[in-house]
Amino acid sequence: MATGIRPWPWALVGLVFCAACLRSAKGGKLLVIPFDGSHWLSMRQVVQELNLKGHESVVLAPELSGHIREGWYYALRTFPVTFSKDRFHELIGSHFQWSFDQKPLLKRFFDIAVLFKMVSDMYFSFCVDLVHNKELMKSLEEAHYDAVLTDPANICGPFLALYLSIPAVYFLRGLPCGLDTESTQCPDPSSYVPKWTTENTDHMTFLQRVKNFLYPLPHNMVCQGFLKPYESLALELLQRDTSVADILSHGSVWLVRTDFVMDYSKPIMPNMVFVGGINCASAKQLSQEFEAYVNASGEHGVVVFSLGSMVSEIPMTKAMEIAEALGTIPQTVLWRYTGKPPSNLAKNTKLVKWLPQNDLLAHPKTRAFITHAGSHGTYEGLCNGVPMVLMPLFGDQMDNAKRMESRGAGVILNVLEMTSDDLSKALKTVINDKSYKENIMRLSALHKDRPISPLDLAVFWVEFVMRNKGAPHLRAAAHDLNWIQYHSLDVIAFLLAIVLTVVLIAVKCLKFCFQKCFGKKEKAKKATKSKSH
């Protein structure tokens, strides 16, 4: 048997004649409604692949945008918005600086809630500007798109697809507040499916299960505040009282950016397609600049360090602590950092404004990856088999980090509390303790061992929805039941009522018979007794 690590054969598969290629003889028209930031960076790969297959894509975005720009493989259509430009940049720019502030847990929770509410309100404001733009809406209606490809983190995408009656494909990592499980009607037992941001694994102690059970409650309450405006908009435009989960439930196919090497096995639904690792399918040759860094690193190789596209500056005290730790290892460290260089930066540490993360991680001389454990970065570490030092900052990053640590492929550090020594130790551990490399290589091989590449799979399902005008056969009938019916509570009540009635009648009958049989004797006895007295 061939075991161990095999070359990734997807590139070859992509080149040859495949089922999907045969089917897309004529190009379709796709409306793409993204969510800004790193979400868009992986979604656009699907758009590019669809372009190569002859489909036309129109990317619809507000004029205020961070990462969504013109591209050769789609037409960008922006729309004017009323949201203040300065406020937009303020929100996006200072987005995650608070991650480095030491705060009590409750204060942190409320700060996140406030930040999320502001971002959510901004997206809602964009959505209102879009749907009230009569000229644009008319042209969208007249364009007769075959499908909408959207990230449901931007609720306006699913909303617009429903409003325009175009079948939708969702592209996502997951949604907060259990919105994804509710909208897919996917069972989600809290006893072994860790809830979002709990940092639980699938094997929990009793108290972790209590936490997992209770955790969604405050989140769901907070979410109601974010979702309410969309429900009012639905009432105005769709003329019906509906929830956001119901709006989302009309998605034909959910392309979920995860797999069961990183995430834990759990119930899924037939319209959920798993494309985790879609962002690291093809590593390119390094540029001269980075090739030079790597070649100069000698036998010790390099360490790649990035806290993601949203965080490029950190407080100077923390930066100096980190710089000190990086100086203690023999590897060359390539650190994506745009702030003021720490004064104690060691010779082995190179600061760069941007780095080709996936290409660097794919290089055989890369020894470790210091990451904030965003889903994209973690998958790039996983695909390329690089042990990680994980510094989760917020959202699902804690969960991603926990998944890697629980599988022996990385070490988690609390970025707020760690010392220089902690980081130095963690780096030396993942680089020198061979078990980390062995574990990540094993996971990497498992992750890549699939019948079809995640990118081809995503493209297939978008084309499927375009060809078949949706996928109604994959929609569970559970969507047509209310909560009582779904859990068979009415059936149980009905059966209990029957059982109770039967028991009651039986008791009455027995009582009646008893009285008939023994009542007379009793009376007779009494009568005899009274006579004898």
Letters for 421-460 (x = contact with a second copy by CB under 8 A, - = none) are: -------------------------x--xxxxx--xx--x
Between the CA of residue 210 and those of 199, 222, 392, what are the distances in Å?
13, 20, 23
Is the CB of 9 or the CB of 315 nearer to a second copy? 9
Q: Is 388 helix (H, G, I), strand (E, B) or coil?
A: strand
- Among the listed residues 330, 327, 328, 323, the one whose alpha carbon sits nearest the alpha carbon of residue 300: 330
How many other CB atoms sit within 10 Å of the CB of residue 292?
11
Any idea what the Cα angle at residue 181 is, between residues 161 and 123, rounded to 5°?
Answer: 45
Is the CB of 104 or the CB of 189 nearer to a second copy? 189
Among 191, 205, 343, 530, binds a second copy (CB under 8 A): 191
How many other CB atoms sit within 10 Å of the CB of residue 138?
10
Letters for 257-276 (x = contact with a second copy by CB under 8 A, - = none) are: ---xx--xxxxxxxx-----
Is the CB of 349 or the CB of 453 nearer to a second copy? 453
Give dist(CA 448, CA 7) in Å, integer. Answer: 9
Is the CB of 210 or the CB of 510 nearer to a second copy? 210
**What radius of gyration, in Å, describes the C-alpha atoms of the chain?**
29
Between the CA of residue 292 and those of 288, 351, 357, what are the distances in Å?
6, 14, 15
Q: Does 23 bind a second copy (CB under 8 A)?
A: yes
Residue type for position 122: M
Helix (H) / strand (E) element for 109: namely: helix 105-131
Question: Minimum CB separation from a second copy for residue 188, in Å?
Answer: 9
Q: Does 104 bind a second copy (CB under 8 A)?
A: no
Q: What are phi and psi of 223, to 5 degrees?
A: -60, -35
Letters for 208-237 (x = contact with a second copy by CB under 8 A, - = none) are: -xx--xx-----------------------
453 to 512, contacts with a second copy by CB under 8 A?
A: 453, 456-457, 460-461, 464, 466-468, 473-478, 480-481, 485-488, 490-492, 494-495
Q: Which two tokens stand for residue 417?
A: 């509390």
Give dist(CA 145, CA 26) in Å, integer. Answer: 14
Q: Does 532 bind a second copy (CB under 8 A)?
A: no
Letters for 112-151 (x = contact with a second copy by CB under 8 A, - = none) are: ----------------------------------x-----
170 to 189, contacts with a second copy by CB under 8 A?
A: 186-187, 189
Give dist(CA 524, CA 519) in Å, integer. Answer: 8
Question: Minimum CB separation from a second copy for residue 276, in Å?
Answer: 12
Among 20, 91, 115, 137, binds a second copy (CB under 8 A): 20
Question: Minimum CB separation from a second copy for residue 217, in Å?
Answer: 11
Q: Does 364 bind a second copy (CB under 8 A)?
A: no
Give dist(CA 271, CA 42) in Å, integer. Answer: 20
Question: Minimum CB separation from a second copy for residue 17, in Å?
Answer: 6
Among 111, 121, 202, 313, binds a second copy (CB under 8 A): 202
How many other CB atoms sit within 10 Å of the CB of residue 393?
20
